[in-house]
Structure 1
Amino acid sequence: MNAMRGANAYAKVGVESGVMSASPHQLIVMLFDGALASIRTAALHMEGGNPAEKGRAISRAIDIVNNGLMAGLDHERGGELAERLEQLYDYVVRLLMQANLYNDPQRLDEAISLLGDIASAWREIGPQINGQ
């Protein structure tokens, strides 16, 4: 039990250190990774018949999309692209809520696909932003 608590504390420090040293671009990638991991976790719990954990994982994903990805959009500089991303994020949140309500793995898959596509694009522009 102590070893598990120590491992969790170490992981938390690693994540916090990663966040502290990350560029804005890397932070967005981390948000995508967190949302996608939470949705995949929800799918596993949905498949395993664990509604409480499924709901927690979906709530985590919704929180990341709403309070991370959507809140980070710059409508002044991003213009139409920011508006379209906001609409897409809103659609993903609705998919996640419906997946939770109707226990629908296909809606989770669609959310993973949509966020995964955007995350891939963010990863591809990373080297350009970082001057590599």
Structure 2
Amino acid sequence: MTGNARAKAAYQETQAETGLYAGNAEEATLVVLGELIKSMRLFTTHVNPREGKPEIRAHHFSRALTIIYALQSGLDMDKGGALAGRLFQLYEYARQAIINDMRTGHDASSSSACATLGEVFDAWQVAYTQGAAK
């Protein structure tokens, strides 16, 4: 399966799980970012080959990378300016953290990246909720 096909499949899986309205970009971003955080948490729980389940580790490693690819690909660098650039860097940090932790077999930086993504998710959720209330 190609990168684009995996990204599309991950998005469709997320859409099916949440009943997401596809016309709402802000809601879509929230859902996809939430799914990334969920996969990263499950990955870090199972990252140690001696303690974790390899099938869960592998599934959420792949899923997290696919979601990161989709999030990075969806950024509009022209319209988004500096914010889009910083989000790209954050997603790239998370991607590298996951790859490094998979290679080493222990959680050296994925939890930190996940916590930072959680802060972004919380801020995005507040902004979305306030915008939806208007």
Would the TM-score normalized by the shorter structure come out above 0.5?
yes
What is residue 100 of structure 1 aligned with on the other side?
Answer: 102
- After superposition, where does 1:101-120 map in structure 2 within 5 Å? 101-120=103-122
Q: Which runs of 4+ in 1 moved over 6 A?
A: none
Query: Aligned AA for 1:105?
Result: D
Please state how far the C-alpha of 1:119 moved relative to its aligned partner: 0.6
Using the aligned pairs only, state the percent identity: 26
Residues 1:90 and 2:76 aligned together: no
Residues in 2 aligned to 1:81 and 1:21: alpha-carbon distance in whole angstroms: 23
Residues in 2 aligned to 1:14 and 1:110: alpha-carbon distance in whole angstroms: 27
- After superposition, where does 1:50-89 map in structure 2 within 5 Å? 50-67=53-70, 69-89=71-91
Q: Which moved more, 1:86-95 or 1:103-112?
A: 103-112
Residues in 1 aligned to 2:77 and 2:19: alpha-carbon distance in whole angstroms: 27
Unaligned ranges ≥5, structure 1: 1-11
Residues in 2 aligned to 1:71 and 1:95: alpha-carbon distance in whole angstroms: 19
Residues in 1 aligned to 2:109 and 2:98: alpha-carbon distance in whole angstroms: 7
Q: Deviations over 1:87-118 (max 9, x none)?
A: 11111100010011111223221121121111
Structure with the higher helix share, 1 or 2: 1
How has the CA–CA distance of structure 1 residues 96 and 79 changed in structure 2, closer, same or farther, with 3 Å as cutoff? same
What is residue 32 of structure 1 aligned with on the other side?
Answer: 33
Unaligned ranges ≥5, structure 2: 1-12
Please state how far the C-alpha of 1:53 moved relative to its aligned partner: 2.4
Residues in 2 aligned to 1:91 and 1:109: alpha-carbon distance in whole angstroms: 12
Cα-Cα RMSD: 2.3
Instruction: Return the TM-score normalized by structure 1.
Output: 0.78
Residues in 2 aligned to 1:16 and 1:90: alpha-carbon distance in whole angstroms: 26
How has the CA–CA distance of structure 1 residues 115 and 102 changed in structure 2, closer, same or farther, with 3 Å as cutoff? same
Query: Aligned AA for 2:59?
Result: R
What is residue 44 of structure 2 aligned with on the other side?
Answer: 43
Instruction: Return the TM-score normalized by structure 2.
Output: 0.77
Residues in 2 aligned to 1:14 and 1:54: alpha-carbon distance in whole angstroms: 22
* Higher gyration radius (CA): 1
Secondary structure of the corresponding residue to residue 47 of structure 2: helix
